[in-house]
Amino acid sequence: MAINHLEGKVFPLQRDNVDTDQIIPKQFLKRIERKGFGKFLFYHWRFEDDGKTLREDFQLDTPQYNDAEFLLGGKNFGCGSSREHAPWSLQDFGFKVVIAKSFADIFYNNCLKNGILPIRLPENTVDALFKNEKKAESYRIEVSLESQVLCDSEGLIASFEVDPYWKTMLMKGLDEIDLTMHYGEKIETYEKQNEVSVLGI
């Protein structure tokens, strides 16, 4: 799915080192589908041990945030396990953009491959977004991928970096495997020239 202009409500998660075990705990990794993970997102932070009662110290399910499309995070967001179930659960819940001070590499890639836009911003800018979110009545963020600019309903404007390759992939909604298939001949040539080791498997 192609993405460019995005606008929506913001869920603030002011914690560093949010790992993918927290985003989607292991007991939900046994499913063989890509869909339906949203209800397990941040499971142990959202629910009490009974799996039903909402925890009071986590606001994701309140009317203010339950239809948020932007997630605002801290440093090293998405660290730990490579589970792609993490972006699947964010996406299934409704998130389209994750903004953070920094990202773990695998999670960042996994977002891109699923059409979620990960935006890395300087620490003071993210802190300003957190502050604005806290004070604004109905806070929203707007992003243009094409111009690589983000602005919020309080008037903050920030530009962000995105790899040109991924910018095109996201804006056109291309299938990466289809794209790579065009290089089939080059892959074959590489295999012939490098006598890719026969493992004897």
Binding site for another protein (CB under 8 A): 15-17, 19, 21-22, 25-27, 29-34, 44, 49, 74-76, 79-84, 87, 102-106, 109-110, 113-114, 163-165, 176-177, 180-181, 183-184, 186-187, 190-191, 194, 196-201
Minimum CB distance to another protein smaller for 9 or for 25: 25
Minimum CB distance to another protein smaller for 83 or for 96: 83
User: b/e per residue, 88-112, with b = 16+ CB within 10 A?
Assistant: bbbbbbbbbbbbbbbbbebbbbbbb
Minimum CB distance to another protein smaller for 7 or for 19: 19
Minimum distance of another protein from residue 138's CB (angstroms): 27
Minimum CB distance to another protein smaller for 144 or for 168: 168
Please report, in angstroms and rounded to a whole number, the separation of the first and last CA atoms in the chain. Answer: 38
Q: Residues in the chain, how many? A: 201
Minimum CB distance to another protein smaller for 81 or for 132: 81
Beta-strand relationship, 70-72 and 157-159:
unpaired
Instruction: In whole angstroms, give the CA distance from residue 148 to residue 117.
Output: 11
Report whether 104 contacts 129 (CB < 8 A): no
Instruction: In whole angstroms, give the CA distance from residue 165 to residue 52.
Output: 42
3-state secondary structure at position 82: coil
